[in-house]
C-alpha cells in the first residue's frame, strides 16, 4: 500500500485523509518536513495560499517540498495547493514552489462568487465529476508540457504535468473519490518507477 501525506499546516486536511483512505492508500498527516521521507506522494490541500506559504517558511518546509517533487515523487495540489505549485501568479512578482509550468489567477471566479458546484468532464478520470469550487483560482496559461484535464467556461481548472496534478476545485469534499484514486494510481506508478 502506498503512503500519501497531506500537508497539515493549514486548510482542509481531514477530508483528504478520508478520501485517500477510501481510495485504498495509507494517509499520513504531515506536520514536520522529516515526514516527507516516509511518504510516496503528497497532497497540498485547499485553504489560504498566502497563509500556507507563511507556515511553509516558518517550519522550514520550502526546500524539502521542492526536493520531494523534483526527485520524482507525485504532488497533488488542490485549490490553494494548486496556487502553491504554479510557476506564476497573476499580479504577483513571485510565485511559490514553481513546480508546474502555469500561470494562475487567485479568486478568479470573482469576489461575488464565493462557491459553486459544477459537473465536469475530467479527462481520463470522470465524465461527470461533481466539482466543488470555494473562492477558487483558475489557470490562465500553461506551458507545453502541461496537460489540461478540465475546464469551466474555457478556464482551466485541472491539469497534470509529469508527477504533478492539480485542481482548482476540492475533490475531497464529496463521496466521489475518483480524482484522489487517480492520484493514488500516479503514486503507485511513480513508486515502482523510482524503485527500479
Ligand atoms: N482563495 C484561496 C487562495 O487564494 C484558495 C481557496 C481555497 O483553497 N479554497 O489561496
- Indicate whether 171 pLDDT > 80: yes
**From the CA of 52, how far away is ligand 1's center (Å)?**
10
- Alpha-carbon dihedral angle through residues 165, 100, 61, 186, given to the nearest 10 degrees: 30
What is the chain's mean pLDDT, rounded? 96
- Indicate whether 164 pLDDT > 90: yes
| pLDDT value of residue 110 | 82
Catalytic residue at 170? yes
The verdict on the CB of residue 80 being under 6 Å from ligand 1 is yes
The domains located in the chain, with CATH, are 3-195 (3.40.50.880)
115-129 confidence digits (pLDDT tens): 999 999 999 999 999
| pLDDT value of residue 114 | 83
The verdict on the CB of residue 115 being under 6 Å from ligand 1 is no
Q: Which residues in 62-92 are b (16+ Cβ under 10 Å) and which e?
A: eebbeebbeeebbbbbbbbbbbbbbbbbeee
Catalytic residue at 166? no
Catalytic residue at 79? yes
**Long-range contacts for 49-52 (Cβ within 8 Å, ≥24 apart)?**
49/80, 49/81, 49/83, 49/84, 49/96, 49/106, 51/10, 52/7, 52/9, 52/10, 52/11, 52/80, 52/81, 52/84
Single out the catalytic residue among 15, 16, 105, 172.
Answer: 172
The verdict on the CB of residue 74 being under 6 Å from ligand 1 is no
Asked if 168 and 9 touch (Cβ cutoff 8 Å), the reply is: no
Asked if 26 and 16 touch (Cβ cutoff 8 Å), the reply is: no
**From the CA of 1, how far away is ligand 1's center (Å)?**
31
The verdict on the CB of residue 48 being under 6 Å from ligand 1 is yes
**What is the distance between the alpha carbons of residues 56 and 5, in angstroms, rounded to a whole number?**
15
**What is the distance between the alpha carbons of residues 123 and 12, in angstroms, rounded to a whole number?**
25
Residue 103, exposed/middle/buried by CB under 10 A (0-12, 13-18, 19+)? middle
Q: What is the enclosing helix (H) or strand (E) of 105?
A: strand 100-105
**In the chain, % of residues over pLDDT 90:** 96
**From the CA of 80, how far away is ligand 1's center (Å)?**
4
| pLDDT value of residue 21 | 98
Single out the catalytic residue among 16, 79, 96, 105.
Answer: 79
The verdict on the CB of residue 3 being under 6 Å from ligand 1 is no
Amino acid at each position: 500500500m502506498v503512503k500519501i501525506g497531506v500537508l497539515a499546516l493549514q486548510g482542509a486536511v481531514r477530508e483528504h485523509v478520508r478520501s485517500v483512505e477510501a481510495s485504498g492508500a495509507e494517509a499520513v498527516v504531515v506536520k514536520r518536513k522529516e515526514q516527507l521521507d516516509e511518504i510516496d506522494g503528497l497532497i497540498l490541500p485547499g485553504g489560504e495560499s498566502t497563509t500556507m506559504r507563511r507556515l511553509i517558511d516558518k517550519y522550514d518546509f520550502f526546500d524539502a517540498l521542492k526536493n520531494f517533487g523534483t526527485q520524482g515523487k507525485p504532488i497533488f495540489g488542490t485549490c490553494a495547493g494548486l496556487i502553491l505549485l504554479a510557476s506564476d501568479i497573476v499580479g504577483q512578482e513571485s510565485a511559490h514552489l514553481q513546480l508546474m509550468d502555469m500561470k494562475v489567477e487567485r479568486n478568479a471566479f470573482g469576489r461575488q462568487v464565493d462557491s459553486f458546484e459544477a459537473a465536469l468532464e475530467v479527462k481520463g478520470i470522470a465524465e461527470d465529476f461533481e466539482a466543488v469550487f470555494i473562492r477558487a483560482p483558475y489557470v490562465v496559461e500553461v506551458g507545453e508540457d502541461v496537460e489540461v484535464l478540465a475546464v469551466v467556461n474555457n478556464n482551466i481548472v485541472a491539469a497534470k504535468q509529469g508527477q504533478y496534478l492539480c485542481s482548482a476545485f476540492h475533490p475531497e469534499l464529496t463521496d466521489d473519490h475518483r480524482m484522489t484514486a487517480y492520484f493514488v494510481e500516479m503514486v503507485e506508478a511513480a513508486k515502482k518507477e523510482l524503485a527500479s
